[in-house]
A and B are shown apart, each in its own frame.
Chain A
Amino acid sequence: MTESASSHVSQGNAGGVSLRRVSKTYGLATVLHLDELTFRDGEVTGLVGENGAGKSTMLGILAGTVTPDPGGEVVINGEPVPPGSPIASQAAGVAMVSQEFPLVGQLSVAENLTLGLRQPGSRGIFINRKAMNAAARAMLGRVGLDVDPRAPVSTLSIPARQLLEVAKALGRGPRLLILDEPTSALGPLEAGLVIRFAREHAAGGGAVIFVGHRLEEVREAADRVVVLRNGALVADMPVAEATDDRLIKEMVGKEHLASVTADHSDADHSDADHGSVARPAPVFTAEELTADGLGPISVSVSEGEVLGVAGLMGAGRSRLLHTVFGAIPFTGGTMTLAGARYAPRNTGDAVAVGVALVPEDRKQQSIMANAPVRWNVTLATLRRLSRSGFLSPKTERARATEFAGRTGARFASIEQPIGSLSGGNQQRVIFGKWFAAEPKLLLLDEPTRGVDVGAKAEIYGLIDEARARGLAVIVASSELDELFRLSDQIVVLRRGRIGRVLTKEQFSKEQVLLTASGVKEGP
């Protein structure tokens, strides 16, 4: 690292893959800023960090799917790689196994494996099916996956598809193998297998990046662990030093250092104490609630209370809210709303009795982008707005103006398409939609995703207002600061179940992360 600054291509560190002065900004927000980070050949580098720490951005830059800010460079084996080109990255030897499976479901296993490769044994544009299947069989053999190369991918189980992804990546003979949470969909057995492939690939002289939420797995796989926080590299340590406490401290930030040990000591008996505190009668309760991939879960929320839901991606946060809202059928357990039995068969049932859901993905699940603000505000209350089926434009407009105004949403005209508003204003309109429905229980899934900082505070204000009016609120979020700001209590979900319940005094990122990532089993 100390060679002369004038030399452009550094000779001293030719092996491996380096990121130099790489940064990425979106608008005003810098999401990644690295001076120098090298993934060395023959080594598995574990990569950890909270949501939003910049992991995905960094991996995207390596894979060529994200274009970094000008000035930075990705150097593979001493050669700079053209930025922002997936083809160039692939040609330079980067292969990535991602959390989602970009496989073509209708094509066969063999076709997926050889997709984008030069077709084995092909003549001209014609596919040599025999050679292709043979090549595929060899690739499958490497990962010990016993499936028919001719079977369509859509018939494979999720773990098998994940392993197929690994086979596909390994089949390219990559120099740098990126495994982005490769084990999140796998059982312990397959997870162990993937970790072995990572080790073998490194032993064969390749470089590996292993991203994981489960810290134990990261430790098992990696030689060295790097930690990102707020887009910066904050720690780089050999695996021997990477204890849970150390990693979580680095992920969360040093200022929380003191609370780690403190919370550990009193965590175990505090839950019982708080259970006995008298609370007002609950607005909503769920007993042993189950749904596909969820539960059994028991929770209750009272008037004016906010229950936070934390957990890793795939832990069942959204699933819980959607089940309560009737958007996913519940398969067992009982729920009550305002003292009465509540068993929604669909979303209409939920809305009718006073349950509202602000879903996570505004564009896909909330708004009709091309329709006016007015339509979006009245969407959930059309029926009660109309008299014997007829909708009076005057009444509707008055109603829409009233409730959009109540949330402080700003727009030029109520007839303006909602898609032309900023994210924050769109979200306010969506809140207006549900306030108009006068719910008793308000379910919020990532309520501030995709809104800027100022709007965020205003949305918190709306949530505070809702609770002040006596609504019960359940809010799921991947941002822990947000949950701490809003919640009276937090349940931490892990694999569809409640790992732990935290009361206000127990709120700390360490506690949540320890439970969510499975290091610590809850009561």
Chain B
Amino acid sequence: MTTSQAGTSHGDRRDAPGPEEPGLVARRSRLRAIVDIPEFGVIAACVLVFVIVTILQPRFADEANLQVIGLDLADYGLLGIGVGIVILTSGIDLSPGAVVALCSMVSAYLNVNYNVPVGICIIVSVAIGVVIGYLHGWFVTRLDVPPFAITLVTLTAAAGGALALTSGQPISGVSFFYQDLALSKVGGIPVPDIIFVAVAVIAWILMERTYIGRQIYAVGGNREAARLAGIPVARRLVLTYVISGACAGLVAILVIGRIGIGDPSVGSGWELDAIAGAVIGGVSLYGGEGRVIGMVFGILLLMLINNALIVLNVSPFFQEVALGLVLGVAIVADRIRARSRGQARPRGLPVFGARGSEARGSGAQGSEARGSSEPAQKPAPPT
């Protein structure tokens, strides 16, 4: 509204590209293209932290330490991708940490107490994550429950469930396959990282190279516009929560292997690191903006800093402070970038159930009209 056609009768003028000398453009364009990548900042920060910390304390770059970072990266990174995709729809998932605890406990419990084959225990773990994600999506799309609220319910209930299963006792004696999976390496690279990279690539393809991914972006960017373009909004939303749940179920398996037992208190607070990582990687809490590559590097940056603080012998209390500051810098940087592009954030509070647009607009669409009928939708015939 600030750009009210001051002085021009043709509003269209503003669309013309600015005057630029061709020679200069050619020379600069390469560099500009790199710097203009939205994730440039976070990738550069990763490199910078790595280099500086290595100079201060060469032990940081030891193979053993890098493998520790790698294992952390796999756990948090998988959660970060799942949560990040949910955040792209302007939703939120607070449950992953608790779901990791619940899934790992159930998986270990079945394996140890009922001698269920480990393969099935792994499938069960992921399946529990999928079911929880589906329920989240169901509540969010059918009952209009704010994502913040329903996933908070799961955070509490799943963490409690994990403890209740064995009255808080850890489960030992799990199959060695868990450890083989989590602790072996292929060519020096931990298997969990190979899984993480594979999931990241799949997520990238989904989001960047399929129509489903684009529709997820559309649902996050402007839910009402997506609905009025014929996109099955509810189904896309449900899918994102399912992805997040499945990622948590997968992490649960890796966690059992890493610590060798089923631990009911594992995963507590992990969702916050996952969310922070995604946000640091440029995923907007308002939805519609951010990429998988950013999520990956956002988590990586967190893990690097986390580990650096340990290697540099910083007091654990200050570690938390430092991580908070990193998150603060990332959020402020994102806002500055958005502002420099002249974008306003028109919508209400994110996270607490930013509900797209049914409260605004023409009044032509009743609240009863939205979302309610989408899951029954028949796929459009491909032409």
Contacts and interface: CB of A to CB of B under 8 A. Distances in A.
A350 interface: yes
B215 A382 contact: yes
B9 A28 contact: yes
Contacts of B229: 347, 351, 379-380, 433
Contacts of B377: 345-346, 348-349
Interface in A7-53: 26-28
Interface residues of A, number: 68
B17 A410 contact: no
B167 interface: no
B127 to A, nearest CB: 23
B289 A367 contact: no
Interface string B247-265: 0000000000000000000
B368 interface: yes
Nearest to A411: B15
B354 to A, nearest CB: 13
B12 A375 contact: no
Contact of A385 (B211, B212, B217, B379): B211
Interface string B205-240: 100011111110110011011111111100000000
B362 A318 contact: yes
A365 B228 contact: yes
Contact of B226 (A352, A360, A379, A421): A379
Given A348-B232, A348-B374, A370 B11 contact: no
A423 B14 CA distance: 11
Contacts of B212: 389
A379 B209 contact: no
Contacts of A410: 12, 15-16
B358 to A, nearest CB: 10
B113 interface: no
B155 to A, nearest CB: 26
B228 A27 contact: no
A392 to B, nearest CB: 8
Contact of A327 (B6, B9, B227, B341): B227
B368 A292 contact: yes
A397 B75 CA distance: 36
Contacts of A367: 222, 225
B380 A389 contact: no
A364 B357 contact: yes
A298 interface: no
Contacts of B205: 390
A319 B368 CA distance: 13
Contacts of B210: 386, 389-391
A380 B229 CA distance: 5
Contacts of A445: 362, 364
B345 to A, nearest CB: 10
Contacts of B15: 410-412, 416, 420-422, 425
Contacts of A360: 361-362, 364
A235 interface: no
B288 A368 contact: yes
A419 interface: yes
B343 A328 contact: no
B342 interface: yes
B366 A346 contact: no
B29 interface: no
A507 interface: no
Interface of B: 4-6, 9-12, 14-17, 205, 209-215, 217-218, 221-222, 224-232, 288-289, 341-343, 346, 357, 360-366, 368-369, 372-374, 376-383
5 contacts: A322-B365, A361-B361, A365-B357, A422-B15, A452-B5
6 tightest A-B contacts by CB? A351-B230, A318-B364, A422-B11, A368-B221, A382-B211, A352-B380
Given A346-B376, A413-B17, 15 more contacts: A27-B5, A319-B364, A328-B364, A346-B377, A350-B230, A370-B289, A382-B214, A384-B383, A385-B211, A410-B12, A410-B16, A412-B16, A423-B11, A451-B11, A454-B10
